[in-house]
Amino acid sequence: MNASVSLSDELMAQLQGAPLQHMASQLGATPAQTEEAVGAALPLLLGALGRNAA
């Protein structure tokens, strides 16, 4: 992984395409809405995981 790419960015890249489409259909949302929500939630979740792991 490139040092300039954050873990959050790397995870978002992995979710593009079919995984994001599947999440959107499960949630009844558009892929754009789902991407926006995941993009907002992912840094918060990673931060919480980091605090709990310490």
Q: The domain containing residue 53 runs over which residues?
A: 30-54
pTM of the model: 0.77
pLDDT of residue 1: 52
Asked if the structure places residue 22 within a domain, the reply is: no
Asked if the structure places residue 7 within a domain, the reply is: no
- Please tell me the total count of domains within the chain: 1
Asked if the structure places residue 39 within a domain, the reply is: yes
Asked if the structure places residue 15 within a domain, the reply is: no
Asked if the structure places residue 14 within a domain, the reply is: no
**Which two tokens mark 48?**
């919480």
**Which DSSP symbol is given to 5?**
S
pLDDT of residue 53: 87
Which of 25, 47, 20 shows the shortest CA–CA distance to 35?
20
pLDDT of residue 32: 97
Contacts of residue 7, defined as CB under 8 A and 6 or more positions apart, other chains included, come to 1, 46
pLDDT in tens, the chain (54 residues): 555 678 999 999 999 999 999 999 999 999 999 999 999 999 999 999 999 987
